[in-house]
Amino acid sequence: MDYMRHIEGYDKNDKPEPLLSVESTNIPELVRKLADIPRYRLEKSLVQLQKQTLPDLLDHVDFLCSITEAKAHAIVTFDFDSHEDRFRKQLSNLLDDFEEKLINEITEAIREYIPTWNLKARDLFQGWRRLHGTTIKAFLRKDGEHRTKKSNGPSWNAKLLSEPQRNLDPIWNSIDKKTKRFVERRKKLVEGEIEILMHNLRNTIKGVDSKAFKKNLENKGPELQRAFDRVESAIRSDLKQHKGRLLEDGNGDYCRGTMRLLYKAVREDQESKKHSFRAALNMLENGVCGPQGPYLVIQNKHNEYWGAQKTKQKKLGEEAIERVMNEIRTASTQLSVQQKPSESALKMYANLARLVKEGRDQCNKPIRTSHLVSGSEPTVKIEEE
């Protein structure tokens, strides 16, 4: 409140004056932190590129170049499909965990609280009926955002949302805590599946003398784990955005859109029938507590949300699993192909091998040093010249 009085301006003769200065409200600091979030994500992505993505790519190119130096081996026979199916099953189990241990809890809480929210809303309307008719008219005209000296509190919409926020915030605010246990357990199960895959592959290629192939293979385990990590992280991040759309009153949020339609319908009805503004208020109350009101919209939007989100993350996760498994399949197939490269191909391989070495040198020194200087990766150490 003090921050808004500073921003909007106030008469210094009014008493009391704001207790806090602009900076003392900590809102400017919060804004700065929020503004830094995209930069943090960019830095994190750049560190990931330097530490994992580029080295993996260079190892893969190194393998493709070195395959010409090795003799062709017997065809590598391995049941890739069964292992891929097992990873898909782990992905489905992860999504089911989110649904059963978090989403369903929110769904059930919304269903149980709707009658209470309606009762609280009717109590609010009882208070608003005591307002002067011109004040009611102003609130209806301004979609609930009117302010007066006597009524300088939250908008009507914010007050209508206060009870859902009070009831549901504890659940949403504990998302990280609620998901931590089953995510960690699922991560260990995925690690177990990766170890089984790698163990069986190592046994299958015991006679293979391609160091580049074996090194390239070892990179695939972390890639598979990251596929699951990305799904888990995306769900948690998206859930927090979803919460904002359900329980906030900003542009694009469900409540504001729903209430605007109700205010519009009430205004049009009042203008055509010329009834009192208290009668218009009764119509708004019935709309808020009815099937087209914000509380049932919250319930319906939440129910729609998870179905679409689950389908989206399942598709992305399966595509990532399939991509990594196909890379392993392709590399295994390359081992059994007898290659007779031309002179130009050999020159190209030699040039690529040189570029791979230069790329590794860049990752290991200049790029790492840049991260340290920028402060994006505090664990990076500058190498001596």
Please tell me whether residues 349 and 268 are part of one structural domain. Answer: no
Distances (CA, A) of 121 to 110, 270, 294: 15, 21, 11
The verdict on residue 370 lying in a domain is yes
State the DSSP string of 250-273. Answer: STT-HHHHHHHHHHHHHHHHHHHH
- Map residue 357 onto helix, strand or coil: helix
Mean pLDDT, contiguous 10-residue spans, the chain (385 residues): 57 56 60 59 60 64 56 63 94 94 92 96 93 88 80 80 92 82 88 90 68 70 91 89 85 85 91 81 94 94 93 95 88 63 68 72 63 50 40
Q: Can you say whether the dihedral through the CA atoms of 134, 139, 142, 145 is positive or negative?
A: positive
The dihedrals phi and psi of 339, each to the nearest 5 degrees, come to -110, 140
Q: What local confidence, expressed as pLDDT, does residue 204 receive?
A: 76
Evaluate whether residue 15 is within a structural domain: no
Q: Is residue 8 part of a domain?
A: no
Note the pTM of the prediction, 2 decimals.
Answer: 0.68
What's the rounded Cα separation, in Å, for the pair 216 and 328? 9
Query: H or E segment at 318?
Result: helix 294-335
Rounded to 10 degrees, the C-alpha dihedral 222/224/226/230 comes to 180
DSSP letter at 376?
S
Q: Tell me the C-alpha distance between 110 and 302, whole Å.
A: 9
Distance CA 303, CA 252 (A): 18
Q: Which of 104, 106, 97, 101 is nearest to 240 (CA)?
A: 106
Q: What is the pLDDT of residue 259?
A: 92
The predicted structure's pLDDT at residue 314 = 96
Residue 12 belongs to some domain of the structure: no
For residue 202, give Cα distances in angstroms to 71, 121, 207, 333. Answer: 18, 65, 9, 15
Q: Find the domain containing 379 and state its range.
A: 25-72+342-385
**pLDDT for res 56:** 64
Same domain, 209 and 106: yes
Distance CA 119, CA 138 (A): 24
Cα(344)–Cα(347) distance, integer angstroms: 5
**Does one domain contain both 173 and 43?**
no
Residues 83, 89, 90, CA angle at the centre, nearest 5°? 95
- From CA 339, how far away is CA 68, in angstroms rounded? 6
Whether the upstream peptide bond of residue 16 has omega within 30° of 0, thus cis, is yes
Residue 45's contacts (CB-CB under 8 Å, 6 or more residues apart) are none
- For the four alpha carbons of 289, 290, 294 and 299, in that order, the dihedral sign comes to positive
Residue 9 forms part of a structural domain: no
- Report the domain count for the chain: 2
Per-residue DSSP letters for 330-344? HHHHHHT------HH
Give the model's pLDDT for residue 382: 41
**Same-domain check for residues 240 and 188:** yes
Residue 4 is assigned to a structural domain of this protein? no
- Looking up tokens 């040039």 gives 351
Same domain for 43 and 125, yes or no, is: no
User: Distance between CA atoms of 251 and 245, rounded to whole angstroms?
Assistant: 9
Q: What is the pLDDT of residue 244?
A: 86
Which residue, chain included where needed, has tokens 């106030």? Answer: 10
Q: Is 168 in the same domain as 304?
A: yes
Q: What is the DSSP letter of 23?
A: G
Q: End-to-end CA distance of the chain, in Å?
A: 56
- Identify whether 29 is part of a domain: yes
Is residue 40 located within the same domain as residue 158? no
3 part of a folded domain: no
**Residues 257 and 127 occupy one common structural domain:** yes
Residues 6+ apart with CB under 8 A from 171: 105, 106, 109
Nearest to 119 by CA among 316, 314, 244, 295: 295
Report residue 96 as tokens.
């089911």
Supply the angle between the helices 294-335 and 54-66 in degrees, to the nearest 10: 30
Is the domain of 316 the same as that of 359? no
